[in-house]
Homo-oligomer: A and B are copies of this chain.
Amino acid sequence: MNDVQNSPDFRNITLDEAGIKDLQYPVTLLDRANEKQRTVAVISMSAELPHHFKGTHMSRFVEVLSRYTCEFDGSTIPAILAELKQVLDAESARMTVSFPYFLDKKAPVTGITAKMNYQCTFYGKSSPEGEDFVLGVTVPVSSLCPCSREISSYGAHNQRGHITIEVRSLPDEKGIPVLVWIEELIEIAESSASSPVYSVLKRPDEKYVTELAYDNPVFVEDMVRIAGERLMKDDRLTWFQVTAENQESIHNHTAYARFEWNRDGGN
């Protein structure tokens, strides 16, 4: 059976990426509190396509992936990318894995516990320039407007917001990026907002978070700067980006702010 993909191409164009996306797949991840967590990911995978090949072999992405999904830890993405480069005869490969991650979260006063979801992304790339890995976490929070509080005789508008933190960390002695826990980034994001949000709150909890938010008014700009200040002090990090978005309760559009930082200066 003729291998059309493998036939030569004469246009002399090397493609940055050829691959698959929007593949839904169950994965098992590391969980700081419970050792392992099963969730459902949306995955994209690609490889560079050398100029002399007509097409990539799309089926090999899923074949490689399906051998790794039962145990997904810090060494998994580098292993998948290495295997992809080999089976596809490619100089570079990339992968993005996005998934909801759940924590058991206690209500602040009553201590009632329910699961709370955080959308996370692993991004990996392996190329002649080296290995790259980015961890991203999006954290829903509550934000209360400092301006509204200052100028109003009573009350202050507040709303649901989302803080996204993306980080790159230094490689360890094996060249694998030092582990940064999803849980650590969630903690930083939640403490940069007016208040965390919860899946379940009883009345004493609701009183607590209402007053906590009123006592901690922040703009999207503040949330980004507060998180940024803490992240800059983390010696493991070489790069990060913080984005905050507010589903404004006085508008039908979103307010946002973004800060990108590199350890070696510039941003």
Q: List the interface of chain A (C-beta within 8 A of B).
A: 1-5, 9, 11, 13, 15-26, 38-40, 44, 46, 49, 54-56, 58-59, 62-63, 66, 69, 100, 102, 112-117, 140, 142, 144-148, 150-160, 195, 197-204, 206-207, 209-211, 213-214, 219-222, 224-225, 228-229, 245, 247-260, 267
Q: A152-B207, A154-B211, A210-B156 are in contact. Are A249 and B197 (CB under 8 A)?
A: yes
* A20 → B minimal CB distance (Å): 5
Choose one: B13, B38, B151, B155; the contact of A203 (CB below 8 Å).
B151
* Chain multiplicity (copies): 4
* A114 → B minimal CB distance (Å): 5
Residues in chain B near residue A46, CB distance under 8 A: 256, 258
* A259 to B216 Cα, complex, angstroms: 37
* A197 to B219 Cα, complex, angstroms: 18
Q: A155-B155, A209-B157 are in contact. Are A117 and B252 (CB under 8 A)?
A: yes
9 contacts between A and B (CB under 8 A): A16-B259, A16-B260, A20-B255, A22-B254, A23-B252, A59-B112, A66-B114, A155-B211, A157-B206
* A116 to B40 Cα, complex, angstroms: 12
* A211 → B minimal CB distance (Å): 5
Kindly report which residue of chain B lies nearest to residue A26, judged by CB atoms: B102
Q: Is the CB of B157 within 8 A of A219?
A: no
Choose one: B4, B26, B49, B140; the contact of A115 (CB below 8 Å).
B26
* A39 to B39 Cα, complex, angstroms: 6
* A15 to B39 Cα, complex, angstroms: 34
Kindly report which residue of chain B lies nearest to residue A158, judged by CB atoms: B249
- Besides A24-B253, A62-B114, 20 more A-B contacts (Cβ < 8 Å) are A5-B219, A16-B260, A18-B220, A18-B256, A18-B257, A20-B251, A20-B255, A24-B117, A25-B115, A25-B117, A44-B256, A58-B255, A62-B200, A148-B210, A151-B207, A153-B211, A155-B155, A157-B158, A197-B249, A249-B249
Q: A1-B207, A49-B257, A150-B2 are in contact. Are A249 and B159 (CB under 8 A)?
A: yes
Residues in chain B near residue A20, CB distance under 8 A: 251, 253-256
* A36 to B253 Cα, complex, angstroms: 25
Q: A11-B229, A142-B157 are in contact. Are A199 and B151 (CB under 8 A)?
A: no
Q: Is the CB of B204 within 8 A of A1?
A: yes
* A24 to B105 Cα, complex, angstroms: 14
